[in-house]
Amino acid sequence: MEIRDFDVVVVGGGLVGCSFACALAPLGLAVGLVDAGTGSTPLAADPRKLALAAASLNALGRLGVLARLATPPTPIERLHVSREGDFGVLAVAARDVGREAFGGVVLAGDLGSALQQAVAALPGLVSVRGTATAAGVADDGYRALDVHVSEGDPGTAASVQRWRARLVVAADGTHSPLRASAGIGVETHDYGQTLIVTSVRMGAATPGTAYERLTATGPCALLPMAGGRHGALMGVATDEADAVMALDDRAFAEAFQRRAGWRAGAVREVGARSAWPLRRLVATSLVAERLVLVGNAAQTIHPIGAQGFNLGLRDALSLVDVLAETRTSGASDPGAAPVLAAYEDRRGIDRAETLAFSDGLARITSGDSPVHRFGRSLGFAAMNLDAGLRAGFVAGAMGFRGRVPTLARDAA
């Protein structure tokens, strides 16, 4: 069996794994990337619409990824948040807080394609298509993986290589095999909701405005996109998802209209649809011996507030910061216990606050009792009246929580 040694091996060639590889490149480490390339949706064909926070745009711009997008991000200049059946709304414009935009919207597949191009251009990166299984931690300070390298068409026998790394970065998704093999536990919650993703054309949407209407069965959102279209997200009860997916375009447009209301006008056109079950999964630890978790392997959260990928990207960028600081201090082992402890500590505030925001908002907004309704309405009123509360909400939505990673910071 061929044996290859690395400083860092990244397992998972998704959005977060590729972003991490790009951000890590300037450190001059020996890096390997294992891209499973499996699943029902290839990275470049992912139909989801992503609201990238301002912090994420900062980082992806500095990494040269935004310049590779087929279509530039559509700016989110205004936020309009309401709850079905409640009085009051939260409406805030970026210019009110001294910004041009809160973030921007991209197609996940477009971002995936841009990241793959950026990774392919990295000098010195060893990248293979295949899967990796844990092979234990050696006494000489390496975590070993058996890498099954795909060769040719699916079903073709794969060759096996033994890769060893001072640090293994598990970016292998919600059902992370590396997390399980390291014995890291998870806490899970099924929201009983399924998110239906599509695109629509609206009759009277204000350009640059992101609308989010909260309901008992999840969010109903409109994200501005290029060409006058909107990314449309609609949460439905899981036991109703198949029936909603089976509706023809006209019937689906009527269902979406009932949920979204009329603030953005009438639904004029509906695109292809995909369905995504909503479940929360949070790892009980971010580290094990010579292993760290990033992205969905660390936490998979409810999409309310559009925090998922943005949080995972900040995981990756924070790890790069810790590794850079380690090298600056003269230390040479990226997987040493103090490095892992520093990473877990670095992610503490941002991760805890984002998880609390996402899960709390999902649970609070699903309640239909008079107490829930009154409390939410008071919350909207307080947010509109109190500049401090509004500023805190906006800062969190833009990805500026806790110790912001270097690449994600504003230029000023």
Residue 131 lies in a domain: yes
| Alpha-carbon distances of 74 from 50, 52, 105, rounded to whole Å | 11, 10, 5
Structure tokens at 232: 């449309």
Residue 326 lies in a domain: yes
Are the C-beta atoms of residues 268 and 202 closer than 8 Å to each other?
Answer: yes
Residue 352 lies in a domain: yes
Distance CA 382, CA 306 (A): 22
Write down the pLDDT at residue 218: 78
Q: How many Å is the maximal CA-CA distance in the chain?
A: 66
DSSP state of 343: H
| Alpha-carbon distances of 353 from 144, 319, 402, rounded to whole Å | 34, 18, 9
Residue 231 lies in a domain: no
pTM of the model: 0.90
Walking along the chain (412 residues) 10 residues at a time, the average pLDDT comes out as 92 96 97 78 78 96 97 93 70 88 94 96 94 90 93 68 97 96 95 92 91 83 90 93 96 94 91 92 97 97 81 97 92 94 95 83 60 56 63 82 93 73
CB atoms closer than 10 angstroms to residue 228: 11
Total domain count for the chain?
1
Residue 219 lies in a domain: no
Are the C-beta atoms of residues 235 and 218 closer than 8 Å to each other?
Answer: yes
Are the C-beta atoms of residues 299 and 282 closer than 8 Å to each other?
Answer: yes
CATH number, domain of 21, equals 3.50.50.60
> Where do we find the tokens 């216990």?
337
Residue 383 lies in a domain: no
Residue 88 lies in a domain: no
What's the domain range around 361? Answer: 2-46+110-186+279-366
Are the C-beta atoms of residues 220 and 226 closer than 8 Å to each other?
Answer: no
Residue 252 lies in a domain: no
